[in-house]
């Protein structure tokens, strides 16, 4: 069932520093929520709160699917998240990483799903190679495989085209167009081409 992510008056403080101040917005399938703003304006913080990885100091994030509305933590198995801080296991192969994490997320036939995702991002021929042999751009493509292994209903992307060449960026834009039809999308970026993808744009730190 489709999920709407409702961000209501979210603020976040780290000690004496205010990272976010009373941000409200909503993300739902078919409408991409785009977060932009200068460095240090709280983009990554907002996305982590939306994904349930941080708690807001005030305000709330509620996931609504028409049945069991609740906090992001209750919907963790339905979230996909791409972040510069995300790290996979360098000593494992690409496919072993996806099989392992897919299993943790309860994905049936995780190996088969992993192979399909590797093919989608152009890495199937490197399925059995350790991630330690991958370039930064290839590792970024792997993050997308990781985030999609559970067919997420909420897809959250922080700086999604970091380290990618033009072909990699076009791949990401294609994935976004596919996912926005069925999933709630929240993307943080300062890339002008990506900002234009947003149906609703929040500019932080103004």
The model's pTM is: 0.94
Confidence band for 141, pLDDT divided at 50, 70 and 90: very high
Identify the pLDDT of residue 109: 93
CA distance 159 to 122: 20
Confidence band for 205, pLDDT divided at 50, 70 and 90: confident
Q: Indicate the DSSP class of residue 82.
A: E
Give SS3 for 124.
helix
Q: Which residue has the tokens 């982590």?
A: 48
Residue 66 has pLDDT above 90, yes or no: no
Per the model's pLDDT, the better-predicted residue between 192 and 114 turns out to be 114
Residue 206 has pLDDT above 90, yes or no: no
Residue 68 has pLDDT above 90, yes or no: no
9 near 24, Cβ under 8 Å? yes
The tens digit of pLDDT for each residue in 97-136 reads 999 999 999 999 999 999 999 999 999 999 999 999 999 9
25 near 7, Cβ under 8 Å? yes
If you average pLDDT over residues 70-84, what whole number do you get? Answer: 93
CA distance 35 to 190: 8
Q: What percent of the chain has pLDDT over 90?
A: 89
Confidence band for 186, pLDDT divided at 50, 70 and 90: very high
Identify the pLDDT of residue 97: 98
Burial category of 23 from C-beta neighbours within 10 Å (exposed 0-12, middle 13-18, buried 19 and up): buried
CA distance 157 to 128: 26
Identify the pLDDT of residue 100: 96
Identify the pLDDT of residue 1: 73
Starting at the edge strand found earlier in the chain, the sheet holding 58-64 runs: 17-27, 4-14, 58-64
Per the model's pLDDT, the better-predicted residue between 81 and 18 turns out to be 81
What mean pLDDT is reported for the chain? Answer: 95
DSSP-derived secondary structure for 6-72: EEEEEEEEETTEEEEEEEEEEEBTTBEEEEEESTTSSHHHHHHHHTTSS--SEEEEEEE-SSS-B-G
């Amino acid at each position: 069932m489709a999920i709407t992510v409702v961000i209501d008056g979210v603020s976040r403080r780290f000690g004496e520093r205010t990272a976010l101040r009373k941000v409200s917005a909503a993300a739902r399938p078919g409408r991409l929520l785009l977060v932009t703003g200068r460095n240090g304006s709280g983009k990554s913080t907002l996305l982590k709160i939306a994904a349930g990885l941080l708690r807001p100091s005030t305000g709330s994030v509620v996931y609504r699917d028409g049945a069991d509305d609740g906090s992001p933590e209750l919907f963790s198995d339905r979230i996909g998240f791409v972040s510069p801080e995300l790290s996979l296991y360098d000593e494992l192969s690409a496919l072993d990483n996806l099989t392992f994490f897919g299993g943790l997320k309860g994905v049936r036939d995780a190996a088969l799903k992993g192979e399909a995702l590797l093919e989608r991002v152009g890495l199937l021929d490197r399925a059995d190679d350790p991630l330690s042999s991958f370039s930064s751009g290839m590792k970024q493509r792997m993050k997308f495989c990781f985030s999609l292994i559970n067919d997420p209903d909420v897809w959250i992307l922080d700086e999604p085209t970091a380290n990618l060449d033009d072909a990699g960026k076009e791949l990401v834009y294609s994935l976004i167009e596919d996912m926005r039809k069925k999933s709630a999308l929240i993307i943080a970026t300062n890339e002008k081409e990506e900002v234009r993808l947003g149906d609703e744009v929040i500019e932080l730190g103004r």
